[in-house]
Amino acid sequence: MIRSCIFALVIASSPLTAQWLHFPTPGIPRTSDGKPNLTAPAPRTANGKPDFSGLWEKMSDRFYNNIAADLKPGEVAPWAEALYQQRKKDFGKDSPEAQCRPLGPAYSTTPYRESRIIQTPSIIAILNNDLTHREIFMDGRELEKDPNPTWMGYSVAHWDGDTLVVESTGFNESTWLDDDGHPHTEGLRMTERYRRPDFGHIELRITLDDPKGYPKPWTVAVEMNLLTDTEMLEFVCDNEKDLAHIPNNAKGSDLNLPPETLASYAGLYDVQDHGRTVVAEFTLEGNILFWNYDGTGKQRLVPLSETIFSLAGISIEFTRAGSGPATGFVMRLVEGDTVGLRRK
């Protein structure tokens, strides 16, 4: 449970976008009531290509929690799976997130970092709110054959019609593919395909190719939304003093619960999320409990006790009435508790 608290503290320390609240973003198409029209046509540059410039956020943490969420057994090399499981048992004590280090390839999936894209004809810069940045070269150069590994890697890009294709390599092995701990080798090659279907959205598809750790490449999809009428505040991680309190070799992920206990949690739950009702669906596959929040995709839950589960460090506790099905759950964060109630 210790990592649950620390993870929540990191998220809680992320800045709220509250700067220049009374200064509307210039150049934004608006509806008749003055609100940003995010379904308006995407802007284009002087050469007719889509312009990705703007302040963006990613909408789901599914692949940031587990980049291999859609992979089947055997599609992760044994050494990589073993290291991944060990990192989970250690509550991610050595993760870039916990160590206040750059996230490397995981910036492409994390919803916990805002990013500003600045696009020019020859170079694209991505500025993250934790003061890291990427340079994506558009001047025709090729990736180095044997690059000196770095935290953020090296990136070049080209156009495929209206899709921006970014190829990256040269990530050092200190970076992780996700918050849960999937590793990679220095041979990792990442290809991102950015498509802007309208003014307020980017469709991003990320293909990861690392033959020494994963037998075949795979692709994940990430949705990005434009942030308007606000500005990005810097987020500086200063959490390393908590690392001494994270235990090593925790036993939580080795806990096996009876199938009937897990089955009692399966079902649909209604959650009030920022004024709207969303559905949290829990499903049981074999002896593994998954949740799917608001249709963002299944994520595996790790049992910490008979009623408490971890989702990438966030605590989910079920409430039960005797031996019957669970009546609800509580997701615990530093910001406060979120309650889900089973549908009748």
CATH number at residue 208: 2.40.128.20
User: Is the domain of 61 the same as that of 196?
Assistant: yes
Confidence of residue 11 (pLDDT cuts 50, 70, 90): very low
Supply the pLDDT for residue 312.
75
- Picking from 45-59, 94-108, 174-188, 299-313, which range would have the lowest pLDDT averaged per residue? 299-313
Confidence of residue 317 (pLDDT cuts 50, 70, 90): very high
Report pTM: 0.81
User: Is the domain of 215 the same as that of 282?
Assistant: no
User: Is the domain of 147 the same as that of 18?
Assistant: yes
Tell me if 38 is assigned to some domain: yes
Q: Of 168, 191, 226, which residue is a domain's last?
A: 226
- Write out the residue range of the structural domain in which residue 335 sits: 252-342
Supply the pLDDT for residue 9.
40
- Picking from 45-49, 247-251, 315-319, which range would have the lowest pLDDT averaged per residue? 247-251
Per-residue H/E/C for the chain: CHHHHHHHHHHHCCCCCCCCCCCCCCCCCECCCCCECCCCCCCECCCCCECCCEEEEECCCHHHHCCCCCCCCCCCCHHHHHHHHHHHHCCCCCCCCCCCCCCHHHHHCCCCCCEEEEECCCEEEEEECCCCEEEEECCCCCCCCCCCCECCCEEEEEEECCEEEEEEECECCCCCCCCCCCCCCCCCEEEEEEEEEECCEEEEEEEEECCCCCCCCEEEEEEEEECCCCCCCCCCCCCHHHHHHCCCCCCHHHCCCCHHHHHCCCEEEEEEECCEEEEEEEEEECCEEEEEECCCCEEECEECCCCEEEECCEEEEEEECCCCCEEEEEEEECCEEEEEEECC
Count of domains for the chain: 2
User: Is the domain of 93 the same as that of 127?
Assistant: yes
Tell me if 309 is assigned to some domain: yes
Tell me if 234 is assigned to some domain: no
User: Is the domain of 189 the same as that of 288?
Assistant: no
Write out pLDDT tens, residues 105-161: 999 999 999 999 999 999 999 999 999 999 999 999 999 999 999 999 999 999 999
